[in-house]
Amino acid sequence: MKIDTLCVQGGFQPKCGEPRQVPIYQTTTFKYDTTQHMADLFDLKAPGYFYTRLANPTNDAVAKKIAALEGGVAAILTSSGQAANFFAIANICSAGDHVVCSAQIYGGTFNLFNVSLRKMGIDYTFVDPEATPAQIQKAFKPNTKCVFGETVANPSGVILDIEKFAKLAHKNGVPLIMDNTFPTPILCRPFEFGCDIVTHATTKYMDGHSAQVGGCVVDSGNFDWEKHADKFGCLVDPDPSYHGLSYTKTFGKQAYIVKATAHLMRDYGSIPSPFNAFLVNIGLESLHLRIRRHAESALKIAKWLKAQKKVAWVNFAGLPDSPYHKLLKKQFDGPAPCGVMTFGIKGGREASIKFMDSLKVIGIVTHVADAWSCVLHPASHTHRQLTDEQLKAAGIPPDLIRLSVGLEDPADLIADLKQALKKV
C-alpha cells in the first residue's frame, strides 16, 4: 500500500462485521479463565493483553500504523514526545554511557538530555550538525551508545544530513536515533537514509488538532544488536528482570520495541490513554492531506515575508536560496519540509515582540504544527531556561519568531502579517 492509503487503513483491518473505526479499549485490564494463561502472558510466552500499562489494543493499532508509515518493524506509543525521546535513549543507555547529539534540537529535549539524563549518569556531547564527519568523529567515545538528532530542528529549521550521521554512527557501531516530528513520515522517512530508530511527538502534525499530547518510538529493525553485543548487552544478554530472557534471541527484529514495552513501560509507566491514541488515529487518517497543505501554505508565506522590507531574515528550507534546499530535495517528498519557519523583524527582540503582539488571526501559543496558525518567541518562551550562549548554539537569535502555518486560507494569514508589520 502507498503511504496515503496507509494513513487511512494501516495498522487496523477490521474483520467482517467488526467496527470500522479503531475501538477505544478504555480498560485497565483484561480477563482470563486460567492462572496458567495469565502466567504465560507475564512471561511474554503468549501474545495477549493483561494490563494497559504494558499493552492495549487501541494503542497497538495506532503504533502499528505509525510503524507502517515510517517503514519500520514495530513501534510503541508513549504519553508525550518527551517520554518518546526519553524511552528511545534509556532503552539502550544507562549510567556511565555517552550519547553524541546534534546541538540543534528542541529545547525540551535539550533540557531532558543535558540536565535530567546527565543527573542519571548519561553523558552527552553536543555537535554542530553542519560539522564535517572528521569533526563529529572526535565526539565519539568508547562508551558512546547512540547518536541523536532531529530531521528538522525545532525551532531553528536546520535540516540534518541523515546519511552523514548514519554513516558515522554505524562506523562507531551504534544506532542513529532521529526525532522526525516536524516532517512526519509523509514528507521524510529517515530509515530510507540509514537512520535506525525514529521518535515522534504525535502532539504535533500527527494529531494535528492540538487535542492530545503523545509520542511514539519506531524501530526500523535494521540495527544488528547482536553484532555489537559488547555495547548492547541490555538487548542481547539474559535479562534478570525478565526470567533470564534475551530480547534479541526471543524477539529478533522486534527486540528493541519489546524491551521498551516489557522493561521501560512496565517500570516508568508513560502509557497514553487509549482515548488519546484514538485521537491520534483520527489525525493520521488525514495526515497526508494536511501536512502537504501546511508545507505549501508555508512556502507561499515564506516567499511573501522574504519580500518585505521590515523583515530582516527568513529561514525556511523550502526557499530556493536556503542553505538547506539541497538536503530538502534529497531527503524530502515535497517543496517544503513542514509548515514551520522562523524569521526576524528588523529592530531585533523588541520589534519582533511588538510584531507578534499585533497579530490578530495568528495566535500566540506554546505549540506548533496543527490546524491553527500560531507564533512563538523562543527566547521568551520555550527556550527561556537557556543562556544566551546556549541560545546561540541552538541557532536561536533573540529576534527569532517561530511561525507555524496552519490550514487557514494563506491569503488571510498574509493579510494578518501585513497589518502587524505596519504597526512595527
Ligand X SMILES: *Cc1c(COP(=O)(O)O)cnc(C)c1O
Give the footprint of ligand X on this chain (CB under 6 A). Answer: 80-82, 106, 108-109, 150, 154, 179, 181, 201, 203-204, 213, 215
What's the min distance (Å) between Cβ of 206 and ligand X?
A: 10
Residue indicated by cell numbers 546561540 = 392
Taking the C-alpha atoms of residue 27 and residue 22, their distance in angstroms, rounded to an integer, is 15
Taking the C-alpha atoms of residue 337 and residue 36, their distance in angstroms, rounded to an integer, is 51
Strand order in the sheet with 74-78: 74-78, 215-219, 197-201, 176-179, 144-150, 98-102, 123-127
- Ranges assigned E (strand) in 359-419: 363-364, 374-376, 401-404
Alpha helices in 118-242 (DSSP H): 118-119, 133-137, 162-171, 184-187, 233-236
Nearer to ligand X by Cβ, of 41 and 405: the residue is: 405
Nearer to ligand X by Cβ, of 77 and 236: the residue is: 77
What's the min distance (Å) between Cβ of 184 and ligand X?
A: 11
Alpha helices in 142-231 (DSSP H): 162-171, 184-187
Nearer to ligand X by Cβ, of 204 and 231: the residue is: 204
How many CB atoms are located within 10 Å of the residue 267 CB? 10
Nearer to ligand X by Cβ, of 203 and 331: the residue is: 203
Nearer to ligand X by Cβ, of 103 and 236: the residue is: 103
Residue 315 near residue 306, CB atoms below 8 Å:
no
What's the min distance (Å) between Cβ of 382 and ligand X?
A: 9
Taking the C-alpha atoms of residue 358 and residue 420, their distance in angstroms, rounded to an integer, is 5
Q: Which of 218, 214, 219 is nearest to 370 (CA)?
A: 214
Residue indicated by cell numbers 529535549 = 109
What's the min distance (Å) between Cβ of 162 and ligand X?
A: 15
Identify the DSSP state of 269: -
Q: What is residue 318's three-state secondary structure?
A: coil
What's the min distance (Å) between Cβ of 244 and ligand X?
A: 35
Nearer to ligand X by Cβ, of 83 and 345: the residue is: 83
What's the min distance (Å) between Cβ of 141 and ligand X?
A: 25
Nearer to ligand X by Cβ, of 58 and 82: the residue is: 82
What's the min distance (Å) between Cβ of 204 and ligand X?
A: 6
Nearer to ligand X by Cβ, of 211 and 312: the residue is: 211
Q: Which of 222, 219, 253, 266 is nearest to 66 (CA)?
A: 219
What's the min distance (Å) between Cβ of 83 and ligand X?
A: 7
Residue 165 near residue 350, CB atoms below 8 Å:
no
Report the amino acid identity of residue 46.
Answer: A
User: Which residue has the CB atom at the shortest distance from ligand X?
Assistant: 81
Nearer to ligand X by Cβ, of 215 and 344: the residue is: 215
How many CB atoms are located within 10 Å of the residue 135 CB? 11
Measured at the CA of 155, the angle between CA 152 and CA 157, to 5 degrees, comes to 40
Q: What is residue 264's three-state secondary structure?
A: helix
What's the min distance (Å) between Cβ of 105 and ligand X?
A: 7
Nearer to ligand X by Cβ, of 157 and 232: the residue is: 157
| Whether residue 240 has a cis bond before it, omega within 30° of 0 | no
What's the min distance (Å) between Cβ of 199 and ligand X?
A: 7
Q: Which helix (H) or strand (E) covers residue 345, if one does?
A: strand 340-345
